[in-house]
Chains A and B, each alone.
Chain A
């Protein structure tokens, strides 16, 4: 490796690096729950996030099962409404917003920039506790009667008409928002001031760029939705309709303020995934990311432009036509930075030395799904067409392609890529590869039919559709796909956990990847590095030609 390292972190261990890594450094429950180590907090996040993903997935299963029959005879309407709200709220607020930044970002941002920890480790721990509190409150609200307002909590339904546990759930979302803010502040301060010597802005891995951009959105958007939801809690508690017309309030204002956050929130979910994909594609193609600067700046462009498009959720909500036009234009322009990323990733693969390991398969799957997700966004950005398609299953399919196809595939790719670094163990790559294919196919089977039923006008959040049986075939296909997808998400849990006990020791750099995080041991020590790294080489300094030659020589000698 061309990166030179010097200056031992701890003089005692300079000659003999300590045997302890971050996992073995303390075994008590206390050492985990009160840890300030970003890596341990990432593991805490991983466990809680996986739990909520499984829970949200179970609710999704209930929805899919219910919709196989047009008559809706499995659940009551009230129950169904609570189920889809629980699915949406848990998946959005407790999984998607948190998964990649808080698990992979927490673990990797300090490692990648050569820091010993995040800037504010205690605040990092606080953010996990806030998240746990948020999760607990949302869970209590779901268990003790449920919430039926939909995850968007549109007023006046959520404020004056719903008699479910909306307030409790909103307090949960509010706390989750603060968890998000603290993570964002931490990332920003860390990236600004904690970089190792020589780690200039343009030597930052793209994953760090993506998390930096995400931090900006978290900090600027989240407080707005926090105050909005606080107002809804206020409305419910004091019977003071701020967003309801009873006293002259404006229900559309709630939508404005909600989407001011919730649209950029989509980029909180998907930008870190973009970062993961940049890393994975570069590492497994053994080639520097094509157009590094364009990919880096497209992240920032997405973060900033993302704040100017929220009104495209409201084309038919009676907002002003003129503002709608502006939002539509910026939305179309926002498609460009995403396109830049896709094209650059594709070009990265050209003339690489591509290893088709499981993270790469997930990354290729990501590209396929995100292409569809992004391109169907154009249908919805075209204002005229949005009039027909909005709030139908077309929307449902579109955002699942972006959220599941984008975020979850990115998360899976990242988790598989850095699993050896996190645990020091190798999982069964063959099973993982086939599982990635299964997830890709199952996903398409689940959500592609929803595009068709949405184009045919099936409204979202419908409990039954006996009056429109022509939608049934697509719902049945979708449910079949969901079953496959469910299997595809259970299998990794099994082989990843199995790898913890029976997996081969991975060594420091099992994938042959470049980057500071691969230069320390697997798992890394609590201080991340035995030596303070000084970066002297460029990011993604791969050489596909040399590697290819080397492997050919190796092959030739073997014969």
Chain B
């Protein structure tokens, strides 16, 4: 029997693993001390003062303010200390650093769609380079899921209707579990796979060698294609045209003032909302003429559009619709039902066929590490 087959803790493979493990073992240590001392007293008293023993029972105490204050005070101080520590770790987990490499994740029953910045897409497997800040921007298409990588000690819910974020920096090359950790229906256990941390060189190679993918458009490219296809450019040209249509070029990150006086920074959620429900946060000085795209576009499509706008909404091809200053009076979407871009191939047969392709791969995580050790 090899004890390494029965690990007690998950592999530690991200920047959070260190601080979280320290917090975990600190609370564990305090808990063990408290539990052992208290329970030892219980057992000790139960034996010493059992009926019939000759222990001294004289002058029993029924109230002791000092004692009470001590055992109110000490746990309170400890609790506040651990609260602060826990909150600090939480803030680290929740706030992604600047310049993190952004990967998009869409959760749907029962698979993860993952899209890399250069357009490589994968299902249920996430390839990431080591020692790089990775930020996941996630959304669900149906029910709530949760993206959970135990080895990285990160988890966040993937909610329909809004983007959530998660970030981490993998530190150890290897293959780790990826789980959906929010119950999402029949095949909940199937919704997962692995996270593969590669060296930076391997990752670059993997990205470029990904010949398997037909026509890998990056989200930005797919977004541009869609942008032109549904005719966004008919109105949103390179210059602002009040009161009809503001330019979207370089929109991302700007402060926008809505007509009710609220100010927003044009972030992902703002852009998404403005595509889906343009009337919600009407830009000051503009009127609500844009059609509502809620339910007209899939989440992948919105994400592609959002990525394109985020990238600056600059046309890379000479687009026929980009005739600036010619506002199309009927910026209507004719092909609502037939909307299709490459980004949509997420939902094509090929992608779905891999939904349950988790594979009977036992060589994940600690087991894999252990096997590797034996080989060596």
Which residues of A approach B to under 8 Å, CB–CB?
A: 72, 77-78, 81, 148, 150, 154, 156-157, 161-162, 244-246, 248, 250-252, 285, 287-288, 290-294, 315-318, 321, 324-325, 328-329, 332-333, 335-336, 339-340, 342-347, 349-356, 360, 364, 367-368, 371-372, 375-376, 378-379, 381-388, 390-392, 452, 455-457, 459-470, 473, 544-545, 548, 551-552, 555
Contacts and interface: CB of A to CB of B under 8 A. Distances in A.
Nearest to A540: B62
Interface residues of B, number: 103
Interface in B139-176: 142-144, 146, 148, 150-151, 153-157, 159-162, 164
Contact of B7 (A252, A350, A391, A456): A456
Which among A81, A343, A388, A470 has the greatest number of chain B C-beta atoms within 10 A? A388
A382 B82 contact: yes
Contacts of B64: 290-291, 347
Given A381-B83, A383-B90, A367 B60 contact: no
Contacts of A287: 60, 62
Interface string B15-40: 01001100110011011001100110
Given A148-B185, A328-B83, A157 B150 contact: no
Main secondary structure of the interface of B (DSSP, over half): mixed
A244 B86 contact: no
Nearest to B56: A351
Contact of B34 (A150, A248, A375, A391): A375
A383 B94 CA distance: 11
Which among B155, B177, B295 has the greatest number of chain A C-beta atoms within 10 A? B155
B8 to A, nearest CB: 6
A459 B23 contact: no
A383 B87 contact: yes
Nearest to B32: A375
Contact of A351 (B57, B79, B146, B277): B57
A462 B64 CA distance: 49
Q: Which 8 A-B pairs have the closest CB atoms?
A: A457-B150, A384-B89, A245-B161, A382-B86, A383-B90, A332-B79, A349-B45, A375-B31
B210 to A, nearest CB: 23
Contact of A551 (B51, B151, B366): B51
Interface stretch (B67-75, B231-239, B313-321): B67-75
Contacts of A246: 295
Interface stretch (B128-136, B304-312, B356-364): B356-364
A161 B107 CA distance: 15
B150 to A, nearest CB: 2
Contacts of B89: 382-385, 387
Nearest to B71: A343
Contact of B60 (A77, A294, A316, A544): A544
B39 A333 contact: no
B6 A388 contact: no
B14 to A, nearest CB: 10
A468 B144 contact: no
Contacts of B359: 467
B80 interface: yes
B91 interface: yes
Contact of B86 (A385, A459, A461, A466): A385
A77 B94 contact: no
B57 A468 contact: no
Contact of A318 (B9, B28, B159): B159
A160 to B, nearest CB: 8
A470 B51 contact: no
B63 to A, nearest CB: 6
B42 A336 contact: no
A288 B86 CA distance: 39
B83 A329 contact: yes
Main secondary structure of the interface of A (DSSP, over half): helix
B75 A383 contact: no
Nearest to B366: A470
A285 B60 CA distance: 12
Contacts of B199: none
B218 to A, nearest CB: 26
Interface string B285-319: 00000000001000000000000000000000000
B187 interface: yes
Contacts of B63: 290-293
B244 interface: no
A345 B45 CA distance: 11
B252 interface: no
Given A382-B23, A384-B90, A388-B154, A350 B45 contact: yes
A250 B161 contact: yes
Given A336-B79, A354-B51, A378-B31, A324 B159 contact: no
B196 to A, nearest CB: 14
Contacts of A250: 161
B208 interface: no
Contacts of A288: 62
A356 to B, nearest CB: 6
Given A382-B23, A388-B155, A81 B46 contact: no
Nearest to A379: B27
Contacts of A346: 38, 41-42, 45
Contacts of A72: 189
Given A332-B79, A333-B76, 9 more contacts: A157-B144, A285-B49, A287-B62, A316-B155, A350-B45, A350-B49, A386-B86, A462-B188, A552-B54
A342 to B, nearest CB: 6
